[in-house]
């Protein structure tokens, strides 16, 4: 098949109809008339042919005077002044008779009187202010505006001087005519188009869609299936997709499971006991101000606290335990039962540590939605996700903690370049911060960790050392998802969600 043949094979039914006509014709109007096709069909065909380089399309703008709603009506039943005159042709009339006969409203009547009088087409009866009479000029008169109306729509450039004047007058009146700007389209074959038009294959009947009927009768009756432009754009569809940040969290979860960690969960509404007291954070601690947590309006107090455990925690706070002085203050039972929205994910750890299900040695993690009393902006959300957990086992010490941090840097930042620095958490001693050099982001603070204080773990019934850790992946998530504003992690914008990369 030659090049022209290739081109012809891909031509649509409409293109095949229009292309040969262009050998003789050029304007869209003529083509429509000649082919009997719809205007939009011809337009499509010309557009496609142009894209294939088979014709050039020229567009020129021109003005058309068109009828508006009132104009269309007047074209049919006559302008008010026209009807006014017609009604008087038989005999002079009183105003009320006239209005009735000519079908005029008061407004139309008044407007017509002005126009007709100024042109001397009527007179108003002497002595009787409401008697109207037609003049001789009136009987002969043609109203040019009416004549113009009958002629519309029309190109303004094709109107006579008189018609143009009538048009100006009608334009002043409401809802009668408007000027629309239209496109005149004409096309001319390119040399390639001429070749294609001359190709006999263009006469062949082609089929767009393969139907079940065609398949059934294929052996006896093969159809000519048109080639497609496979590069042509297609309409968009929207499929079911996971939310990008949730998927990021899903992947984090998979990593932890792969590393041998078990997932923990805990309630969103927590007592201060699990959120803070069970972590050996004294009730007077500065992080426990009303301004740091959201307090529940109703009910205010938990009724299901494990009281024996609460007493052991209370003793550790007040008097210390196993070589500790304790915080030496009076522990408040009411405060420990106060309900809040959990302010950090570590609230889940003491629940697991004191549970019968705890396995030693054991590795645990949680991905927990937490809430902190904070002004919301590009770096602070009312909700945020924390990822953390603990490792419990015989003989664990600071060296294992560092080993764990090294592992996290490798897993979540793909780096072995790390720095460990001392840090402070009320419930761990020692405490450390992990800085890791992310391949693209540079040095970031990736994790905080420590060994749970014995004052915390002993009352919970755990005698083995427990390494606690929390990993901050918010920045990594935003980096991976290309986000600048933390609020976009929970974006409600469908356009963003539909177009987000699946990592």
Partner 1 sequence: MPTISFSYRDFQQLLGKKLPIEEFKDLAILYAKAEVEEYNKEKDEAKMSLDDTNLPYMWCAEGLARFFRGVLGIEKGLPKFKTEESKYEIIVEPAVKKLRPSIASFIAEGKQIDKYLLEQLIQLQEKFCESYGRRRQKVSIGLYSHRKIKFPVHYKAALPESVKFEPLEMSEKLKLNEILEKHPKGRQYGWIIKEFERYPLLMDSNGEVLSLIPIINSNLTGRLAAGDKELMFEATGTDEEAVNLAANIFAQNLYERGFKISSVTINRDGKKTTTPHKFAEKTKISESDIEKLTGLKLSPAKTKELLERARYDVSGNTVTIPDYRRDILHPFDIIEDAAIMYGFNNIESEQLTSYTTGATTQMNEFADAIRGIATGLGFQEILSPILSNKAVLEEKMETTNTGIVEIENIMSETFSAARSWLTPIMLEVLSKNMHNDFPQRIFEQGTATTRKGNRISDSEKIALATSHTNADFTEIKQCLNVLMKSLGLNYALAQLNHPSFITGRCGTIKAKGKEIGIIGEVSPKVLTNWQLEMPVSAMEIDLTELKRIISTS
442-471: which residues touch partner 1 (CB under 8 A)?
451, 453-455, 465
Minimum CB distance to partner 1 smaller for 199 or for 345: 345
Please, which residues bridge with residue 58 across strands? Answer: 186
Residue 479 is a binding residue for partner 1 (CB under 8 A): no
Binding partner 1 (rule: CB under 8 A), the pick from 174, 205, 209, 399 is 399
Site string for partner 1, 34-73 (x = CB under 8 A): ----------------------------------------
DSSP calls for 300-319: -B-S---HHHHHHHHHHHHH
Binding partner 1 (rule: CB under 8 A), the pick from 407, 410, 414, 461 is 407
Answer yes or no: are the C-beta atoms of 103 and 77 closer than 8 Å: yes
Q: Which stretch binds partner 1 (CB under 8 A): 21-29, 210-218, 316-324, 473-481?
A: 316-324
Binding partner 1 (rule: CB under 8 A), the pick from 183, 378, 493, 503 is 493
Largest CA distance in the chain: 127
Site string for partner 1, 349-388 (x = CB under 8 A): ----------x-xxx-----x-x-xxxx----xxx-----
Q: What tokens were used for 494?
A: 């469908």
Q: Which stretch binds partner 1 (CB under 8 A): 127-135, 159-167, 198-206, 404-412?
A: 404-412
Minimum CB distance to partner 1 smaller for 143 or for 405: 405
Rounded to whole angstroms, the Cα distance separating 438 from 436 reads 6
Question: What contacts 24+ positions apart, CB below 8 Å, involve 399-407?
Answer: 400/467, 401/432, 401/449, 401/450, 401/451, 401/467, 401/469, 402/432, 404/449, 404/467, 404/469, 405/432, 405/434, 405/447, 405/449, 405/469, 407/259
Binding partner 1 (rule: CB under 8 A), the pick from 306, 326, 335, 358 is 326
Shortest approach of partner 1 to residue 481 CB, angstroms?
A: 12
Site for partner 1 in 96-125 (CB under 8 A): none
Binding partner 1 (rule: CB under 8 A), the pick from 47, 131, 190, 402 is 402
Cα–Cα nearest to 268, from 335, 352, 339: 339
Shortest approach of partner 1 to residue 417 CB, angstroms?
A: 12
Reduced to 3 states, what is the DSSP secondary structure of residue 424? Answer: coil
Minimum CB distance to partner 1 smaller for 69 or for 289: 289
Shortest approach of partner 1 to residue 418 CB, angstroms?
A: 9
Residue 330 is a binding residue for partner 1 (CB under 8 A): no
Residue 429 is a binding residue for partner 1 (CB under 8 A): yes
Binding partner 1 (rule: CB under 8 A), the pick from 20, 144, 320, 474 is 320
Q: Which stretch binds partner 1 (CB under 8 A): 1-9, 115-123, 212-220, 487-495?
A: 487-495
Reduced to 3 states, what is the DSSP secondary structure of residue 52? Answer: coil
Cα–Cα nearest to 388, from 413, 410, 405: 405
389: left (phi over 0), alpha (psi -120 to 50) or beta: left
Binding partner 1 (rule: CB under 8 A), the pick from 388, 426, 470, 472 is 426
Q: Which one-letter DSSP state was computed for residue 428?
A: E
Rounded to whole angstroms, the Cα distance separating 267 from 341 reads 9
Q: What tokens were used for 104?
A: 């005029």
Q: Which stretch binds partner 1 (CB under 8 A): 26-34, 78-86, 109-117, 288-296?
A: 288-296
Shortest approach of partner 1 to residue 354 CB, angstroms?
A: 18
- At 161, give phi and psi (nearest 5°): -55, -45
Number of chain positions touching partner 1 (CB under 8 A)? 100
Length of the chain: 503
Angle at 414 between CA 408 and CA 415, to 5 degrees: 85
Minimum CB distance to partner 1 smaller for 149 or for 339: 339
Binding partner 1 (rule: CB under 8 A), the pick from 398, 415, 441, 475 is 398
Shortest approach of partner 1 to residue 337 CB, angstroms?
A: 12
Minimum CB distance to partner 1 smaller for 87 or for 316: 316
Angle between helices 95-102 and 106-118 (to 10 degrees): 100
Reduced to 3 states, what is the DSSP secondary structure of residue 57? Answer: strand
Which residue, chain included where needed, has tokens 């087409």?
Answer: 121
Minimum CB distance to partner 1 smaller for 37 or for 391: 391
Residue 77 is a binding residue for partner 1 (CB under 8 A): no
Question: Exposed (0-12), middle (13-18) or buried (19+): which is 174, by Cβ within 10 Å?
Answer: exposed
Residue 325 is a binding residue for partner 1 (CB under 8 A): yes
- At 231, give phi and psi (nearest 5°): -90, 0
Minimum CB distance to partner 1 smaller for 183 or for 246: 246
Reduced to 3 states, what is the DSSP secondary structure of residue 439? Answer: coil
Site for partner 1 in 215-274 (CB under 8 A): 236, 238-243, 245-246, 250, 253, 256-265, 267-269
């Amino acid at each position: 098949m030659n090049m022209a043949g290739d081109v012809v094979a891909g031509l649509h039914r409409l293109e095949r109809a229009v292309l040969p006509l262009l050998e003789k014709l050029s304007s869209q109007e003529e083509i429509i008339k000649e082919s009997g096709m719809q205007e939009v069909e011809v337009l499509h065909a010309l557009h496609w042919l142009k894209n294939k380089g088979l014709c050039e399309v020229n567009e020129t703008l021109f003005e058309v005077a068109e009828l508006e709603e009132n104009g269309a009506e007047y074209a049919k039943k006559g302008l008010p002044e026209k009807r006014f005159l017609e009604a008087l042709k038989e005999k002079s009339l009183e105003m009320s008779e006239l209005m009735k006969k000519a079908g005029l409203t008061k407004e139309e009547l008044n407007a017509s009187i002005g126009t007709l009088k100024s042109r001397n087409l009527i007179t108003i009866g002497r002595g009787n202010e409401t008697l109207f009479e037609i003049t001789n000029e009136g009987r002969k008169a043609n109203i040019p505006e009416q004549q113009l109306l009958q002629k519309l729509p029309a190109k303004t450039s094709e109107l006579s001087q008189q018609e143009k004047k009538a048009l100006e007058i009608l334009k002043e009146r409401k809802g009668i005519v408007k000027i629309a700007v239209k496109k005149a389209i004409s096309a001319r074959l390119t040399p390639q188009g001429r070749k294609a038009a001359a190709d006999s294959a263009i006469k062949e009947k082609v089929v767009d869609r393969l139907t079940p009927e065609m398949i059934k009768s294929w052996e006896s009756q093969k159809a000519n299936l048109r080639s497609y432009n496979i590069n042509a754009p297609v309409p968009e569809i929207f499929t079911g997709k996971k939310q990008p940040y949730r998927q990021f969290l899903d992947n984090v979860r998979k990593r932890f499971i792969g590393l041998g960690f078990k997932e923990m969960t805990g309630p969103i509404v927590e007592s201060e006991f699990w959120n803070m007291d069970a972590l050996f954070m004294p009730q007077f601690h500065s992080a426990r101000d009303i301004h740091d947590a959201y307090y529940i309006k109703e009910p205010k107090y938990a009724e299901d606290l494990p009281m024996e455990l609460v007493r052991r925690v209370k003793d550790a706070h007040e008097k210390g335990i196993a070589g500790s002085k304790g915080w030496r203050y009076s522990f408040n039972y009411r405060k420990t039962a106060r309900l809040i929205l959990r302010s950090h994910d570590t609230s889940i750890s003491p629940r697991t540590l004191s549970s019968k299900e705890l396995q030693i040695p054991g590795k645990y993690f949680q991905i927990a939605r937490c809430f902190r009393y904070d002004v919301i902006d590009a770096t602070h959300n009312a909700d945020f996700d924390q990822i953390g957990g603990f490792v419990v086992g015989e003989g664990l010490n600071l060296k294992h903690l560092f080993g764990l941090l090294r592992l996290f840097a490798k897993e979540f930042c793909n780096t072995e370049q790390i720095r460990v620095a001392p840090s402070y958490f009320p419930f761990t001693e020692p405490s450390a911060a992990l800085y890791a050099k992310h391949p693209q982001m540079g040095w970031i603070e990736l994790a905080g960790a420590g060994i749970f204080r014995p004052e915390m773990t002993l009352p919970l019934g755990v005698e083995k050392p427990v390494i606690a850790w929390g990993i901050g992946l918010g920045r990594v998530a935003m980096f991976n998802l290309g986000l600048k504003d933390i609020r976009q992690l929970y974006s409600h914008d469908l356009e963003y969600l539909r177009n987000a990369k699946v990592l």
